[in-house]
Structure 1
Amino acid sequence: MPVRVAMHQPHYLPWLGLVDKIDRCDLFIVLDDVQFERKGWQHRNYVASKNGPVLLTVPVIQRSRNERIIDKSINNETPWQEKHQRTLASHCYRNSPFWSEFGEGVTDVYNREWERLVDLSTATTDLVLNAFGVTTPMVRSSELGEFPGQKSELLAQLSAKVGATTMLSGEGARGYVDPEVFARYGITVEWQTFRHPEYPQHNRRGQEFLPRMAALDLLLNAGPEGMDLVRAARSTEAA
């Protein structure tokens, strides 16, 4: 049986492109034991307000430049949870069409204590996946063992480990994902070519649509049926 696998680092408040990737594969590998990217998107994302994008960042403790995501600790000396909850609940989405249905789940995330970034990221990802009805099984790369490869070789080894016949990759990886490396393992590479849907943003009436917000923006504005907009915009091309 053909098995399409996709993989990505865990992201706090994941954006729609990542949700789309998870929905399109048979198994998703969470790359939790790769290097944490400083000033990347693993601990922050934008949400939409009437005045424009608002960046929510989870403060993390800096120990080493080579620190893995799975080892990354949150800096709880600052009241980041209160700030993020207030931004989402009061400033951005309280009057959104689906806040009454999903708002309690959102605020519950910020009423819990978090020590590791990967656990918080997983919780925010599970929140939107469950709400959208995305049931793709997921496994963490740290659970699959140790692999000697780097970049394409590592991804190909992980894909082979789970019996994949195809690896779905995002457009941003074209510069380093080498289809020939995957071919040596009998695996085909497909490119995601994600197309961002547009939808009504309740607090942006009469203003320009803001794309690339956290997937929570689509959920709270369009509800679970918002996933139909993502699926309708799809395009995939073979490598």
Structure 2
Amino acid sequence: MHQPHYLPWLGLLDKIDRCDLFVVLDHVQFERKGWQHRNYVASKNGPVLLTVPVVQRSRDERIMDKSVNNSSPWWEKHSRTLAQHCYRKAPFWDEFGAEITAIYERRWEQLVDLSLATTEFVLNAFGITTPMVRSSELGEFTVQKSELLAQISAKVGATTMLSGDGARAYLDKDVFDRYGIAVEWQNFQHPEYPQHNRKGQEFLPRMAAIDLLLNVGPEGMDLVRQARIAD
């Protein structure tokens, strides 16, 4: 499970690809200056950060309640950056460019809907068919942190939760033991691949997953799978 991300990166796709079910944590608190509404894409001059402006109401606002701020045409900048500045000459732009630009032709009101649209696009393009469910659809949860993750896992009938390595410092495995749920660490290894606009320059890792898709195509996911190592 993971919070929904706008233009998700390869680490999140790897997690979804390895699971039988992906739970979208949309009922938890929105993280300011996090990756829930922004990500990097690669240009010949380096990473370009694309940020979706959001309406600021309360610091306690949940992701599922977060509104997109459409007072200025941010979508024009994002579409132009992708279609003209970064990927116009990418090997697979002709195949997927129309679907990408179509995302920016719609006026999105809720951030979670936009984030899931960008996620579902890359999942479909890479042929990843893992079913998804939103945590907000699973009922009310009054606990937090490890207890919350364990309860959600139990609610969907999971026997194992796949966790990113960043959670090693705070995830309490004893809590999961009480629910009879094992914890498996993702141990994500980032593959390197040709970036068409970076020839002769240093590879840029941790870009949005569309960078791999547009440079390598649907078979690019095989590079992610081959890079996995056992914990």
Q: Same fold (TM over 0.5)?
A: yes
Mind listing any 5+ residue stretches in structure 2 that lack a counterpart?
Answer: none
Q: Matched residues, percent identical? A: 80
* Cα displacement (A) at 1:79: 1.1
Equivalent residue runs for 1:119-134 within 5 Å: 119-134=113-128
Residue 169 (str. 1) matches residue 151 (str. 2): no
Which segment is superposed worse, 172-181 or 190-199? 172-181
In the TM superposition, what are the counterparts of 1:135-150 in structure 2 within 5 Å?
Answer: 135-150=129-144
Deviation per CA, 1:58-112: give whole Å up to 9, x if none: 0000000000000000000011000000000000001000000000000000001
Q: State the SS of the aligned residue for 2:213.
A: helix
Instruction: Give TM-score, length-normalised by structure 2.
Output: 0.99
Shift of 1:180: 1.0
1:225: which partner in 2?
219
Give yes or no for contact 1:46–1:54 (8 Å, CA) kept in 2: yes
Q: Which runs of structure 2 are paired with 1:1-239 in the superposition (5 Å)?
A: 7-237=1-231
Measured in 1, the distance between the counterparts of 2:140 and 2:126 equals: 33
Task: Give 3-state SS (helix, strand or coil) of 2:218's partner.
Answer: coil
State the Cα distance separating 1:8 from its structure 2 match.
0.3
- 1:113 deviates by 1.0
Aligned-pair CA distance for 1:236: 3.5
> 1:236 and 1:93 mapped to 2: Cα distance?
34
Q: 1:176 offset after TM fit, Å?
A: 1.6
Q: What letter matches 2:171 in structure 1?
A: V
AA partner of residue 34 (structure 2):
G
> Could you tell me which amino acid in structure 1 is paired with residue 122 of structure 2?
V
* TM, length-normalised to structure 1: 0.96
Which residue type is aligned with residue 197 of structure 1? P
Deviation at 1:178, TM superposition (A): 1.1
Moved over 3 A (4+): none
Give how far 1:148 is off.
2.0
Aligned equivalents of 2:45, 2:159: Cα separation in 1? 45
Query: What's the Cα RMSD here?
Result: 0.5
- Kept in 2, the 8 Å contact 1:190–1:236? The answer is no
Residues in 1 aligned to 2:6 and 2:116: alpha-carbon distance in whole angstroms: 8
SS of the aligned residue for 2:113 comes to helix
The residue type equivalent to 2:226 in the other structure is A
Distance 2:6 2:27 in 1: 16
Distance in 1 (CA, whole Å) between partners of 2:145 and 2:181 is 15
